[in-house]
Amino acid sequence: MQGLYGRNHKGAIAIAKPDPALIAVLINREHSRLSSQVKTLEKVLHALFSDKEYQRLIQLAANWRALLAFDDGAPKLADTLEVFIAAYRQRSPDQERLHDEVVFQAGVYRMGHWALVKHFIPGVTDCLDNFGSVLPKYREAFKRRYEAEGNLSVEAQSQLLKAQYALIPNRRDPYRHEEMKRRGLVTADGIVPMGVKEALALIEREEAQAALPAKRGVVAWVADRFRRKE
């Protein structure tokens, strides 16, 4: 397979899809790191100001902004942490309230992240046990494939997870509204006369048909017949 596309054994175009097991492992690791990092903020509330701690928090906010894979939630979470950091530097009496807001936003981030995954990649839940932990066989398979020579860095894990999300079709427009407009299925008032569900089914049928290998034309068939007679 080259890039995101390849051909299956029947000659049809095959588009790479997100790997549920890979995503399950990476999202669990990310959320585990996030929970641990949020817990470290509590000690800041009960300690004197430290420039070293301040610099650590600044770096943490930058890491959240750059490395958290759920980009719909990461900026808000990083913004909230930066507000807390400013209060910490100023010894503001609002520190505790702002700390609680960071904890809350971290929870919002995790819930939003799982909502994205479960909506677009329902197979991820099959890789988890009843407590939300990744099943051992998937963890072991990940280690064999990606970490046989050592653990992946946080940066590498982030890039890998973001690359998986890039494979989600129509993530920013799950109901294909722009595609419906392009095909003339939406009125000027934004109404889909045939119904959204039916319009989506129509688009998917046409796309599936377009992905099939083209049938050989009559001219090519006749040319083959003449070549065989020669």
Same domain, 36 and 115: yes
Same domain, 178 and 216: yes
Is 214 within a domain? Answer: yes
Domain boundary (130, 161, 192) is at: 161
Same domain, 60 and 157: yes
Average pLDDT for the chain: 84
Compute CA distances 30 → 22, 35, 62, whole Å: 12, 9, 15
Same domain, 26 and 139: yes
Same domain, 58 and 143: yes
Burial of residue 81 (CB within 10 Å: 0-12, 13-18, 19+) is buried
Q: Which residue has the higher pLDDT, 35 or 223?
A: 35
Where does the pLDDT of residue 4 fall: very low under 50, low under 70, confident under 90, or very high at 90 and above?
very low
Is 186 within a domain? Answer: yes
**Do the beta carbons of residue 215 and residue 221 sit within 8 Å?**
no
Domain boundary (161, 191, 220) is at: 161
pLDDT score for 7: 42
**Do the beta carbons of residue 25 and residue 152 sit within 8 Å?**
no
Same domain, 55 and 137: yes
Q: CB count, 10 Å around CB of 30? A: 21
Is 2 within a domain? Answer: no
Is the overall model pTM greater than 0.75, yes or no?
no
Is 167 within a domain? Answer: no
Question: How many structural domains compose the chain?
Answer: 2
Same domain, 154 and 111: yes
Same domain, 183 and 135: no
Same domain, 31 and 107: yes
Domain boundary (161, 187, 207) is at: 161
Is 185 within a domain? Answer: yes
Is 9 within a domain? Answer: no
Where does the pLDDT of residue 181 fall: very low under 50, low under 70, confident under 90, or very high at 90 and above?
confident
For CA atoms 29, 34, 35, 40, the dihedral sign is positive
Q: Which domain holds residue 85?
A: 15-161
Q: Which residues fall within 8 angstroms of residue 79, CB to CB, at 6 or more apart? A: none
If you average pLDDT over residues 60-87, what whole number do you get? 96
Q: CB count, 10 Å around CB of 202? A: 14
25-39, 55-69, 160-174, 214-228: which range is least confident on average? 214-228
If you average pLDDT over residues 104-119, what whole number do you get? 93
Phi then psi dihedrals of residue 134, to 5 deg: -70, 135
Same domain, 152 and 46: yes
Same domain, 155 and 44: yes
Same domain, 180 and 156: no
- Cα 199 to Cα 192: distance, rounded to the nearest angstrom: 8
Is 7 within a domain? Answer: no
Whether pLDDT at 10 is above 80:
no
